[in-house]
Structure 1
């Protein structure tokens, strides 16, 4: 028996034979083309269009976040500047395959250098290039294997086009050697409730056909398991399945301390599913979808229609709406089209809204009108608040428009360190752990080369969360969590121990987090959090919390 360690996603456990992702296609030869440039160009244009349509079709079938990612890939495949680079290489006498490989690699490097959202999308270009080259060669694109039986999928990492249409009746679990807790694979695993361990570097040595146990709760992949270990894993899987089908109850700790479990949503259409999965409200509604697909800001009437649809799905329940968070990885030409050397540290969030205050005022108008037309408990918050003055500005403006509960996102370390003063003026705070981790660790959360730093378990991040929780207690104000960290069942317990009063996550993570909270009292949560805080790094913090939590389980 050998244990491979990585980062587990959720509490699931699964077992089965390994099937590895196919290796990338061999690089095209740089030999000159043997056909005319016009014919090569026609081949390339047809292949690119075919791949773009296939990506759009996969996105339409998959829906949700996968659709957005795949539609973005399709647009990148047909980017005019990229097409020009490919055409130029073909006109120089190169083959279509070589031209695509070289131009896509050049374009990928350009995007990588930009960082942020575009830097993340750069990695997707490799997958698109492979698909175009496969089409040109008339061979299947590298992708998810089909061994003819259920399997544990092992890969370096997974491309969006591959993960979008995974057959969950066949894929028992995911194991990747690269990536971290905020990688695309990890996010997808949470969204689709797939058992997964990511960032297990030794997974590259796993062989097709060998049986493994994938234990997300422990972040371990066990090779060559014994019959007893296989039986224990199956018993745990069965018990978890039974718990998931149990009647839904409000989020709470073992001692009855209420911890409302809310949903993160990006569009109103997700509200019904979230409620069915036990969401007690919405902890983060991202309004960007209304703005990102437009060349100009939506009207008040258009916004009101979407907000009303969302609020009507949660009568009497809390719905936290974040006003437009643009800039950095979500640039908008009509809001801020100025070039910035480092947009993650530039005019984004509340800063960009203050620079175009009419957009903020229209959004607050639409939210207030939607609130008046429905029975939900509307809370509105501003993104990327860094100063007490920004908190005062937003809360005063929101109240001017009739918003009863106005708060702030804590994503900048400065806001966490001044949480006692920020929460003296704001009605609540919601911690965005993804950005808070990014700014604490000085590591772009969308850049794969520094993904190892992007771990909310790091004690430096936990201390900032603790400071925010203390600021909330000092002012009698609630402090929620709405980043990916809340979807980690064990970290959820730690967050409550640090002072979080509610947790918001992808709806599919609710069952695991609910079950995890019920295993611990508030005193337990504080003790587990203290153990994590005493660690020196993220890995040891996770291990210390796991050991402390295990003592509760054993004692029970």
Structure 2
């Protein structure tokens, strides 16, 4: 009988094929006595420079979220503070590989202690460290295996530099022992359209060339299946791809209830070459990438140019711009914010404007000027809003700059619980399910052992979404979702049944979500929503909806 392994399905789809496991990075040898510190310093510096250059090459070859993630990693490798720490350790007698390892470990502990967004990035440091140490040792960094045929890639976890460059023609699916729904592996797997299961205990015990089936929706992995079962899964997967390829039109249920399907972007470059047919617009324009890795804030003219370029892609669509989502958990040097004991609960998002209002005002002025140059319908929303007075003040500020449509993100339970009051003063709500999950379930997004609590199928999260959607229906205003949950085709009809009117996601997710919505009437969506809410946890909710749709 096949072994059945269970993890968290984070990228939908079916696959079957032989396993190929990712090799571990080269081991760190025993420390050695340093006789030439200058040579060790040169070795370490070359290792960091080569790692930075390689990551920048991969970033340049990638697009969308993959480009943004790899670009951020290259910045870490080139951080002067990191280099200074390595040099200091070499002066104290460490050889280059151990100086690199110890310095990266120190930075990792610092990020983990900061929590929030930065703690999520701590795991990325390990991959950068492994790459730099391999260069310092003169060894190749193990990459994605190449068994000579298509395969299911199994790993402890996957680094962004490896995930972003996977070839979907060779890699059939991803299975990792670690990771969660908001991990880079999950985000990039969805952007590539690869079925993926994370947090799958026992995955590394499956031997290479063992035939497995992977269900990226349910999170089930069956190891040791026979060829008949594998062929059946491949046939179902092919049928599903054909069905999705044939779908077109705007987002709607089978009886015509509209659910706008939109895309998430970080810059105009993400829209270049994208098929925008039947796309209602941009549901999340993350503007912070314009601000990263700078000593000074971008000026008014630079911002106007960047926003105008993106707005021109949607001359007849809606573009929802999120103002700067930064702060102590995403530190920007020019903000000059003090260190905090818990940045995830500190000065971030809209709260930055308390001390630096000019940053927000310049951004709003730039958005208004860019909007005047295009016929796009530009909406503006603020992140990390907790109270109605905050929402009211932000909306007034937006309108003062001549922008007619102001909204807020719902990322904390306080905002979700007061959605009706918020809609008295703003024009729309957009739910960020990643942060709302973290704060509702009190589970740090970077803690792999708690990945099940961050699953967007958690009934408590669905209950908060339902309350926000009901408030929107009563007020006659839009309530959408721009977090990772929007791209789940099994969850899409549930969200529609809860009353959500807009779903924004990576472009790769659009066909599956469109097809899923088209398979149900609004009444059936509402029934599925009720089924999901009447369960105890995420796994039970997902299973109950699968049973109800089979």
TM-score class normalised by the smaller sequence = over 0.9
- Confirm or deny: 8 A CA contact 1:263 1:507 kept in the other structure: yes
Task: Look up the match of 1:45.
Answer: 45
Distance 1:375 1:58 in 2: 35
Aligned pairs for 1:225-264 (under 5 A) are 225-246=225-246, 248-264=248-264
- Confirm or deny: 8 A CA contact 1:153 1:171 kept in the other structure: yes
After superposition, what is the alpha-carbon deviation per residue over 1:310-333, rounded to whole angstroms, capped at 9, x for unaligned? Answer: 222112211111122221432223
After superposition, what is the alpha-carbon deviation per residue over 1:65-84, rounded to whole angstroms, capped at 9, x for unaligned? Answer: 23333333333234333333
- Confirm or deny: 8 A CA contact 1:15 1:172 kept in the other structure: yes
Distance 1:327 1:186 in 2: 25
- Confirm or deny: 8 A CA contact 1:278 1:510 kept in the other structure: no
1:449 CA drift (Å): 5.2
1:336 CA drift (Å): 4.8
After superposition, what is the alpha-carbon deviation per residue over 1:72-105, rounded to whole angstroms, capped at 9, x for unaligned? Answer: 3333234333333333333344332233223322
Task: Look up the match of 1:213.
Answer: 213
Task: Look up the match of 1:103.
Answer: 103
Distance change >3 Å, CA 536–CA 345, structure 1 → 2: same
Task: Look up the match of 2:314.
Answer: 314
Q: Within the alignment, does 1:511 sit opposite 2:517 as a pair?
A: no
Distance change >3 Å, CA 129–CA 289, structure 1 → 2: closer
Unaligned 5+ runs, structure 1: 551-556
Q: Within the alignment, does 1:17 sit opposite 2:12 as a pair?
A: no
1:232 CA drift (Å): 2.2
Q: Within the alignment, does 1:323 sit opposite 2:333 as a pair?
A: no
Q: Within the alignment, does 1:462 sit opposite 2:454 as a pair?
A: no
After superposition, what is the alpha-carbon deviation per residue over 1:247-290, rounded to whole angstroms, capped at 9, x for unaligned? Answer: 52111112211111001111112224444464221111111122
Deviates more, 1:239-248 or 1:180-189: 239-248
- Confirm or deny: 8 A CA contact 2:286 2:321 kept in the other structure: yes
Task: Look up the match of 1:554.
Answer: none
- Confirm or deny: 8 A CA contact 2:8 2:452 kept in the other structure: no
- Confirm or deny: 8 A CA contact 2:329 2:348 kept in the other structure: no
Aligned pairs for 1:147-546 (under 5 A) are 147-246=147-246, 248-276=248-276, 278-448=278-448, 450-546=450-546
1:301 CA drift (Å): 2.3
TM-score by length of 1: 0.94
Distance change >3 Å, CA 82–CA 293, structure 1 → 2: closer
Deviates more, 1:441-450 or 1:115-124: 441-450
Unaligned 5+ runs, structure 2: none
Distance 1:246 1:507 in 2: 16
Distance change >3 Å, CA 465–CA 10, structure 1 → 2: same
Distance change >3 Å, CA 6–CA 216, structure 1 → 2: same
1:473 CA drift (Å): 1.5
1:357 CA drift (Å): 2.3
- Confirm or deny: 8 A CA contact 1:497 1:526 kept in the other structure: yes
Task: Look up the match of 2:3.
Answer: 2
- Confirm or deny: 8 A CA contact 1:411 1:435 kept in the other structure: yes
Distance 1:328 1:543 in 2: 39
Distance change >3 Å, CA 540–CA 475, structure 1 → 2: same
RMSD: 2.0
Task: Look up the match of 1:553.
Answer: none
Distance 1:123 1:408 in 2: 30
1:180 CA drift (Å): 1.3
Secondary structure of the corresponding residue to residue 292 of structure 1: coil
Distance 2:387 2:129 in 1: 44
Distance change >3 Å, CA 336–CA 423, structure 1 → 2: farther
Distance change >3 Å, CA 518–CA 66, structure 1 → 2: same
- Confirm or deny: 8 A CA contact 1:116 1:328 kept in the other structure: no
Distance 1:72 1:371 in 2: 28
After superposition, what is the alpha-carbon deviation per residue over 1:27-86, rounded to whole angstroms, capped at 9, x for unaligned? Answer: 3213434x4223222222222222221122122122332333333333323433333333
Q: How many residues are matched?
A: 549
Secondary structure of the corresponding residue to residue 335 of structure 2: coil
Distance change >3 Å, CA 135–CA 325, structure 1 → 2: closer
Distance 2:286 2:121 in 1: 20
- Confirm or deny: 8 A CA contact 1:115 1:447 kept in the other structure: no
Distance 1:316 1:452 in 2: 40
Distance 2:336 2:41 in 1: 37
Deviates more, 1:275-284 or 1:399-408: 275-284
- Confirm or deny: 8 A CA contact 1:18 1:152 kept in the other structure: yes
Deviates more, 1:230-239 or 1:252-261: 230-239
- Confirm or deny: 8 A CA contact 2:480 2:500 kept in the other structure: yes
Secondary structure of the corresponding residue to residue 221 of structure 1: strand
Q: Within the alignment, does 1:29 sit opposite 2:26 as a pair?
A: no
1:9 CA drift (Å): 3.0
Distance change >3 Å, CA 481–CA 4, structure 1 → 2: same
Distance 2:217 2:474 in 1: 34
Distance 2:310 2:133 in 1: 43
- Confirm or deny: 8 A CA contact 1:354 1:360 kept in the other structure: no
